[in-house]
């Protein structure tokens, strides 16, 4: 994956190399702001980021391609021996976080820290975005099962895999993606498609054929022609299964007014003594639709949620960025760095995030402080790599999922409102505020007022 990077990372690195700049620097990966209808982030993607940092290197094939792109031999020789040798602190996956909080902090020779930017952003963007979205869907489902069903319209192969992973972290109970089941050990689920029904002359023949193959776990799709008569036929097949000592799993609705239909279908099943048969709903679902269905008394046991969760359709990206926050100066000490573009101020210096909790462990506020400050509260960033070596026990997916559940349970209910949630308080420590003031003054003097003539001096 070493060429999975923006070209400018390589041109900048070539210039650092050319200008003999091998000094260490620190970069923060963070998310600038909350999208509309998001009130927190559920952080995910660290495992893949760390795998990448441990394995990045350039093959001869890569170097030959870069030579063709005009990079000089000295730099290519440097890349041939390239390994990531830096220190990394990060927030564990499954942590609830907020804007401007460093999620991954990289300290290494500036060439290395620069070169890894694109991959880190790409994997954190996708997984944190989906984990966040999926946590909202799970919250809206109020304890009912949510299965991730979006593979066919997720944005490519890797998205298909990472959406399954991050939505499982967020509390989904499984995925339709079989490969994600195999690779990550996530439970896989599936029912049947309309094509299966339509391939038989009669709907009930399709039901019977499927029930023959899966006598104890069939979920029959009942809306191909008409959901009510579909439910009646499913009940017939369920009774046939009962006669053989089996039990129908349930039925699936994929269209129409799911709240009203599910009530009618529930009655049809219950009237036949099929109280155990579950009603599974799918079709264009997201957190808003699920909340509406439940508030309308939908009789639904499980939701299959696809495209809108799997692409985070209402906001398919995060404002995740990776910014230089300190460089080493000539005297060997680190010097804080800040960006001052309009509306794009960054937080200078090496930082830590502290979380404050009440007696019950519920989150009250966070403080972003300088790393060397003494601050109350629980530090969120932990050291995960030292000199390029992993010094962190990567938690299992189940452990990450449990951490996410614990984090979400400690986030007060208000902040989980689907719309109009209040802003969680994230403060800057006094020292960090003072540093920002000082740097603003310096930058203004150096670069803005004096302009070209002075900067040439």
Residues 121-160 that bind a copy of itself (CB under 8 A): 121-123, 125-126, 149, 151-160
Chosen residue from 39, 176, 352, 429 binding a copy of itself by CB under 8 A: 176
H, E, C per residue of 276-287: CCEEEEECCCCH
Q: Which residue has the tokens 């290519």?
A: 76
If one counts every other C-beta atom within 10 angstroms of the C-beta of residue 273, the result is 12
Nearer to a copy of itself by Cβ, of 82 and 356: the residue is 82
Which tokens is 16 given? 């650092």
Burial class (CB in 10 A: 0-12, 13-18, 19+), 33: exposed
9 binds a copy of itself (CB under 8 A): yes
Nearer to a copy of itself by Cβ, of 224 and 407: the residue is 224
Pairing status of strand 104-109 against strand 278-282: unpaired
Q: How far is the CB of 346 from a copy of itself (least distance, A)?
A: 9
22 binds a copy of itself (CB under 8 A): no
8 binds a copy of itself (CB under 8 A): yes
Nearer to a copy of itself by Cβ, of 243 and 359: the residue is 243
Chosen residue from 162, 289, 355, 401 binding a copy of itself by CB under 8 A: 162
Q: Which residues of 45-60 are buried (b: 16+ CB within 10 A; e: fewer)?
A: bbbbbbebbeebebee
Nearer to a copy of itself by Cβ, of 126 and 411: the residue is 126
Which tokens is 35 given? 């999208």
Q: For residues 94 and 72, what is the distance between their CA atoms, to the nearest angstrom?
A: 43
Beta bridge partners of 24: 109
Which tokens is 210 given? 């499927």
Largest CA distance in the chain: 94
259 binds a copy of itself (CB under 8 A): no
Q: How far is the CB of 242 from a copy of itself (least distance, A)?
A: 16
Among 414, 286, 394, 318, smallest CA distance to 120 is for 318
Nearer to a copy of itself by Cβ, of 324 and 380: the residue is 324
By CB under 8 A, the count of residues binding a copy of itself is 112
Nearer to a copy of itself by Cβ, of 338 and 436: the residue is 338
Which span sits near a copy of itself by CB under 8 A: 98-106, 185-193, 294-302, 398-406? 185-193
Residues 65-104 binding a copy of itself (CB under 8 A) are 65-66, 69-70
Which span sits near a copy of itself by CB under 8 A: 5-13, 99-107, 388-396, 428-436? 5-13
- Give the single-character DSSP code of 374: -
430 binds a copy of itself (CB under 8 A): no
Signed CA dihedral, 100, 106, 110, 115: sign only: negative
Q: Which residues of 358-386 are buried (b: 16+ CB within 10 A; e: fewer)?
A: eeeeebeebbbbbbeeebebeebbeebbe
Q: For residues 178 and 171, what is the distance between their CA atoms, to the nearest angstrom?
A: 18
184 binds a copy of itself (CB under 8 A): no
Residues 302-341 binding a copy of itself (CB under 8 A) are 307, 311-313, 316-318, 320, 322-324, 327, 337-341
Which tokens is 323 given? 């910014």
Nearer to a copy of itself by Cβ, of 215 and 379: the residue is 215
Residues 343-382 binding a copy of itself (CB under 8 A) are 343-344
Nearer to a copy of itself by Cβ, of 351 and 355: the residue is 351
Q: For residues 368 and 393, what is the distance between their CA atoms, to the nearest angstrom?
A: 25
Q: How far is the CB of 14 from a copy of itself (least distance, A)?
A: 6
Residues 104-123 binding a copy of itself (CB under 8 A) are 110, 114, 117-118, 121-123
Ramachandran class of 320: left when φ > 0, alpha when ψ lies in -120 to 50, beta otherwise: beta
Residues 225-254 binding a copy of itself (CB under 8 A) are 225-226, 229, 232-233, 236, 254
Residue pair 309/135 in contact (Cβ under 8 Å)? The answer is: no
Nearer to a copy of itself by Cβ, of 257 and 427: the residue is 257
- Give the single-character DSSP code of 305: E
Nearer to a copy of itself by Cβ, of 293 and 325: the residue is 325
């Amino acid at each position: 994956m070493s060429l999975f990077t923006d070209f400018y990372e390589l041109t900048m690195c070539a210039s650092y190399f050319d200008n003999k700049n091998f000094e260490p620097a620190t970069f923060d990966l963070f998310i600038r702001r909350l999208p509309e209808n998001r009130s927190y982030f559920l952080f995910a993607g660290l495992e893949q980021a760390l795998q990448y940092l441990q394995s990045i290197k350039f093959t001869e094939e890569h170097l030959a391609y870069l030579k063709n792109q005009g990079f000089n031999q000295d730099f290519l020789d440097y890349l041939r021996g390239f390994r990531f040798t830096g220190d990394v602190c990060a927030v564990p996956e499954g942590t609830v976080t907020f804007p401007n909080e460093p999620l991954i902090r990289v300290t290494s020779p500036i060439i290395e820290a620069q070169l890894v930017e694109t991959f880190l952003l790409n994997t954190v963007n996708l997984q944190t975005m989906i984990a966040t979205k999926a946590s909202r869907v799970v919250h809206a489902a109020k304890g009912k099962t949510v299965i991730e069903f979006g593979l066919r319209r997720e944005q490519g192969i890797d998205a298909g895999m990472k959406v399954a992973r991050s939505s499982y972290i967020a509390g989904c109970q499984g995925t339709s993606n079989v490969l994600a089941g195999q690779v990550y050990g996530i439970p896989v689920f599936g029912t049947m498609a309309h094509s299966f029904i339509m391939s038989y002359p009669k709907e009930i023949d399709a039901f019977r054929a499927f029930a023959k193959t899966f006598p104890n776990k069939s979920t029959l799709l009942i809306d191909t022609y008409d959901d009510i008569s579909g439910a009646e036929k499913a009940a017939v097949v369920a009774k046939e299964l009962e006669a053989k000592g089996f039990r129908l799993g349930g039925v699936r609705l994929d269209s129409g007014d799911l709240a009203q239909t599910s009530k009618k279908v529930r009655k049809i099943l219950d009237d036949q003594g099929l109280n155990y048969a579950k009603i599974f709903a799918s079709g264009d679902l997201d957190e808003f639709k699920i909340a509406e269905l439940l508030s309308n008394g939908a009789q639904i046991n499980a939701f299959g949620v696809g495209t809108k969760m799997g692409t985070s359709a209402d906001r398919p990206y995060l404002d995740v960025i990776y910014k230089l926050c300190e460089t080493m100066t000539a005297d060997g000490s680190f010097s804080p760095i800040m960006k001052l573009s309009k509306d794009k101020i960054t937080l200078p210096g090496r930082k830590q995030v502290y979380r404050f909790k009440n007696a019950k462990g519920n989150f009250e506020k966070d403080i972003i402080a300088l790393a060397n400050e003494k601050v109350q509260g629980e530090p969120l960033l932990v050291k995960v790599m030292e000199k390029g070596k992993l010094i962190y026990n990567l938690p299992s997916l189940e452990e990450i999922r449990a951490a996410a559940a614990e984090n979400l349970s400690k986030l007060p209910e208000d902040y989980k409102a689907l719309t109009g949630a209040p802003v969680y308080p994230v403060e800057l420590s006094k020292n960090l505020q003072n540093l920002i003031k000082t740097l603003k003054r310096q930058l203004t003097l150096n670069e803005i007022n004096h302009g070209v003539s002075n900067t040439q001096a």
